[in-house]
Amino acid sequence: MTPRGRVDLRVRLLALAAWILALGPACSVADRDGDRSPLSVFAPSSMTDVMPELVTQFHRAHPDVAVEVTFAGSQILRLQIEQGAAADVFVSANESHMTALADGGHVARPRRLATTDLVIIVPLDNGAGIEQFEDLTRAERIVSGTEHVPIGAYSDTVLNNASQHLGSEFTVEVRRRIVSEETNVRLIRAKVELGEADAAIVYRPDALASDRVRLIPIPEQYNVRAQFLVSRTARNEHASQAEQFLEFLSSPESAAILRAHGFTGAG
């Protein structure tokens, strides 16, 4: 048993070394493939409809550049970039996530891509009978965002603004009706589309893009303007293509597409 055991150990070590050698090249090949990977754009959920159209338009002018878009809540995209995700362009639905990435040296200086305002959406049958912002307290179930997702933070500002005009009881009443805090605006909208929530606050383009919800405007005095910022990341693989894409995003063509979806173009 003892001599056999020693031989076994040596064979095992050799096998292990062979295995590591075999695995090593496999890894580096995968890395080299990165050169031909598409330009990776990380965009907030609220741009789920507009971004593919922007990319198609961009692709017409630059047929050689393949673009791949990932959608999620801006806070999740930020986290992924901080953790080393291969993003070339980052669009954030608010300033704070972009600033945090810029402070960490993950993105270059950001520029404004678009703005939009917030609206209320209700299911088409509108069982709670919500006709205006002040009726939010009629809702039995409201769905909102977490404090970290931009839509959650903006909604919070709207409610705080409202409490200045309508009193803090109004805001307390509305907050009491929030049954879930979602991580992106499309998940919020889905709950209203399903009729599971009586009302929610979303960006105007999200309301316009769905034929299963009704849009109710939020009065100017409570509303906020959401700022959508865009920046190139510190990743260098696609630096020139990323610049081309950013240039396109500040073009009149891009602004027209954004406007058609309910955003206000860069300005």
Partner 1 sequence: MTNTRVLPTPIVRIGALFSVTLIGLLVLPFVAMVVTTPIADLRAGAAHPMFAPALWVSLKTSMTSLSITMVLGTPLAWWLASSRSSAARVIEVLVDLPIVIPPAVVGVALLQTFGRQGLLGPSLESLGVSVPFTGTAVVLAQVIVSSPFFIQACANAFRKVEPDMLLVARTLGASPSVAFTRVAIPIALPGLLVGASLCWARALGEFGATLLFAGNMPGRTQTVPLAIFSALEADVRLAVVFSLVLAAVSTILLVGIRFIPSLRRSPRRPPT
- Counting beta carbons within 10 angstroms of the beta carbon of residue 43, is it exposed (0 to 12), middle (13 to 18) or buried (19 or more)? buried
**H or E element that contains 48:** none
Instruction: DSSP letter for 218, please.
Output: P
Q: Which is nearer to partner 1, 75 or 115 (CB)?
A: 75
Give the span between the Cα atoms of 153 and 220, in whole angstroms. Answer: 18
Q: Which is nearer to partner 1, 114 or 149 (CB)?
A: 149
* Shortest spacing between CB 164 and partner 1, in angstroms: 26
* Shortest spacing between CB 257 and partner 1, in angstroms: 29
* Shortest spacing between CB 108 and partner 1, in angstroms: 23
∠ CA 156-159-163, rounded to 5°? 140
Q: Which is nearer to partner 1, 15 or 172 (CB)?
A: 15
Positions in the binding site for partner 1 (CB under 8 A): 8, 11-12, 15-16, 19, 73, 75-76, 79, 82-83, 127, 140-141, 143, 146-149, 178-183, 191, 194-196
Q: Distances from the Cα of 107 to the Cαs of 130, 133, 220, 243, in angstroms?
A: 42, 38, 33, 13
* Shortest spacing between CB 65 and partner 1, in angstroms: 31
Q: Which is nearer to partner 1, 194 or 260 (CB)?
A: 194
Q: Which is nearer to partner 1, 24 or 34 (CB)?
A: 24
Helices (H) then strands (E): counts for the chain: 10, 10
SS (H, E, C) 49-72: CHHHHHHHHHHHHCCCCCEEEEEE
* Shortest spacing between CB 181 and partner 1, in angstroms: 5
Q: Which is nearer to partner 1, 92 or 254 (CB)?
A: 92
Task: Please compute Rg for the chain using Cα positions.
Answer: 24
* Shortest spacing between CB 75 and partner 1, in angstroms: 4
